Amino acid sequence: MRTFADVKKAIASGKSVTDLLEVYLGRIADSSHLNSFLEVFEESAREQARTVDAKIANGTAGRLAGMVIGIKDNLCYKGHKVSASSKILEGFESLYTATAVQRLINEDAVIIGRLNCDEFAMGSSNENSAFGPVKNAINPEFVPGGSSGGSATAIAANLCTAALGSDTGGSIRQPASFTGTVGLKPTYGRISRYGLIAYASSFDQIGPFTNSVEDAALLLEVMAGADDFDATASTRDVERYSDESEESGLRIAVLKESYEMDGTDPEIRTCIDHTIDELKAAGNTVDFVSFPYLDYIVPTYYVLTTAEASSNLSRFDGVHYGYRSNEAKGVEDTYKKSRSEGFGAEVQRRIMAGTFVLSHGYYDAYYAKGQKVRRVLQEKTNEIFEQYDFILLPTTPTTAFKIGEVGDSIAMYLQDIFTVHANLTGNPAISLPLGQHSNGLPFGVQLIANHFEEQRLINISRQLEKKGVVHE
Ligand code: GLN
């Protein structure tokens, strides 16, 4: 039961959604060593499954009937706990449901539980969770990537049919690459962020992890679209992403500097070569295009996202939400001690960096400059899309690393070198499982499309999947 097609087949052969849910619950229990689920919503999931079974019986079931979905622990689901994998939200229960999650429920998906992630979605390895690291299902000595590591592992290990993640700088695509799953980050504003715990609001996007492009397309179609609760959610029409259509004669730009970068694993490069050959053989044009800004991408991302994070996370003050220090005396002491005890080291580092880049005297030198660089990157990327339909590059320079292997924060930040581009520019991007390295671990290829061209991004992804260039 890797895909929704498998689930539908099982239902057609007489299985109930309740039966399928029990299979997943059993698998989750057997895979607790992976630490991917922080909580299983057994009671509400079983109740949903029963309701969906009744709807199937009377012919009123929605489009996602039988799909069992895990959600990243930064998405709100009314009446259920949410913690952003942080101690500071200890005991907090959602007061409302995220629009993206609600739309899945409206189409009769079953929400099975919440998935471990890096604290407040800050990290590239899922080692920054207050509830312990997630393990890579392919080899548990390795990280699954981050920050949506629990979501990626859940899909790689078939613990649910699909999972939601969020992607601010690569947190869907990088773990998808490390786990051999499909990870889609839509255009900024394509899916409402209402009910997503904010990290960097001008970057954050919700998206699916799946074992097939078809499933990613369907989930996007269900979740996308305008929302009165999020003014940045686009009012553009949502296309029928799940309808298949073939396009040929596509123009694809391979980013030369990423391809040639010293740290890019030679086996990944060889696999990219193979993909290029396949695309050319199918009648598409593939050119190497220079984008000489690779060195600016990660620093710009960290100046701007830490600034936004320092503002967004100021609400966690020991008074409004969750954890409060027992030691504290007086108002100021409550803020200081609750925040020092409640936030982990990486989150504190980013709040401090963000406060610094926004501070009087440094604002122009860092934050305002960062915004200007972001604009240049957007313009230069738009120039590529004037001539090309897609940008192709590796998702990650390497395969997954061992738990504990990358100790240095800067080295960790550089893990995102190929993914943050699409967040700085807001473009939609997907990571598709490209191959298996001789070290036994998977890795992905990334395609970026022009703004709101998810339909085309999905079409080309399906084509690559069908050709067997990427692996379902
Ligand atoms: N790894 C990046 C970071 O730590 C991206 C995180 C994300 O996309 N949420 O910020």
List the alpha helices (DSSP H) in 131-172: 149-156
143 is written with which tokens? Answer: 């990280």
Q: Which residues contact 285 (CB under 8 A, 6 or more apart)?
A: 249, 250, 251, 252
Is the CB of 450 inside a 6 Å radius of any atom of ligand 1? no
48 is written with which tokens? Answer: 């949903």
Task: Show which residues are catalytic.
Answer: 72, 147, 171
193-234 pLDDT per residue, tens = 999 999 999 999 999 999 999 999 999 999 999 999 999 999
**Parallel/antiparallel/unpaired status of strands 251-255 and 285-289:** parallel
Query: Using an 8 Å Cβ cutoff, are 158 and 2 in contact?
Result: yes
| Ligand 1: centre distance to CA 65 (Å) | 32
Query: Using an 8 Å Cβ cutoff, are 393 and 276 in contact?
Result: no
Q: Alpha-carbon dihedral of residues 343, 346, 350, 351, nearest 10 degrees?
A: 10
Is the pLDDT at 246 greater than 90? The verdict is no
Is the pLDDT at 303 greater than 50? The verdict is yes
| Ligand 1: centre distance to CA 412 (Å) | 10
Query: 240, exposed or middle or buried, with CB in 10 Å at 0-12, 13-18, 19+?
Result: exposed
Query: Using an 8 Å Cβ cutoff, are 177 and 271 in contact?
Result: no
336-375 pLDDT per residue, tens = 999 999 999 999 999 999 999 999 999 999 999 999 999 9
- Full strand arrangement of the beta sheet holding 37-40: 37-40, 110-115, 68-72, 162-167, 205-210, 182-185, 429-436, 442-449, 390-394, 251-255, 285-289
pLDDT at 32: 98
| Ligand 1: centre distance to CA 413 (Å) | 8
d(CA 37, CA 52): 23
405 is written with which tokens? Answer: 């292997």
Q: Element (H or E) spanning 372, and its range?
A: helix 369-387
Is the pLDDT at 467 greater than 80? The verdict is no
On whether the 1-293+377-472 domain is CATH 3.40.190.10, my answer is no
Q: Alpha-carbon dihedral of residues 48, 49, 50, 56, nearest 10 degrees?
A: 110
Q: Which residues contact 424 (CB under 8 A, 6 or more apart)?
A: 203, 297, 300, 301, 304, 374, 377, 378
> Looking up tokens 């990219």, which residue turns up?
272
Q: Band the pLDDT of 471: cuts 50, 70, 90.
A: low
Average pLDDT over residues 63-78: 98
- Ligand 1, atom nearest to 148 Cα: 9
116-160 pLDDT per residue, tens = 999 999 999 999 999 999 999 999 999 999 999 999 999 999 999
402-424 pLDDT per residue, tens = 999 998 888 999 999 999 999 99
Q: Band the pLDDT of 185: cuts 50, 70, 90.
A: very high
Is the pLDDT at 428 greater than 70? The verdict is yes
Is the pLDDT at 472 greater than 60? The verdict is no
pLDDT at 304: 98
Is the CB of 89 inside a 6 Å radius of any atom of ligand 1? no
Q: What is the mean pLDDT of the chain?
A: 96
277 φ/ψ sector (left φ>0, alpha ψ -120 to 50, else beta): alpha
| Ligand 1: centre distance to CA 75 (Å) | 16
Residue intervals of the chain classified under CATH 3.90.1300.10 are 1-293+377-472
34-62 pLDDT per residue, tens = 999 999 999 999 999 999 999 999 999 99
pLDDT at 353: 97
d(CA 220, CA 164): 11
Is the CB of 389 inside a 6 Å radius of any atom of ligand 1? no
Average pLDDT over residues 89-103: 97
What Å distances lie between residue 236 and 191, 451, 452, CA to CA? 11, 11, 9
Instruction: Report the first-to-last Cα separation within the chain, whole angstroms.
Output: 12
Atom 5 of ligand 1, residue of closest alpha carbon? 169
**Percent of the chain's residues with pLDDT above 90:** 93
pLDDT at 469: 65
Is the CB of 171 inside a 6 Å radius of any atom of ligand 1? yes
Distance of CA 203 to the CA centre of its chain: 12
Query: Using an 8 Å Cβ cutoff, are 148 and 166 in contact?
Result: yes
pLDDT at 470: 62
Classified as helix, coil or strand, 185 is strand
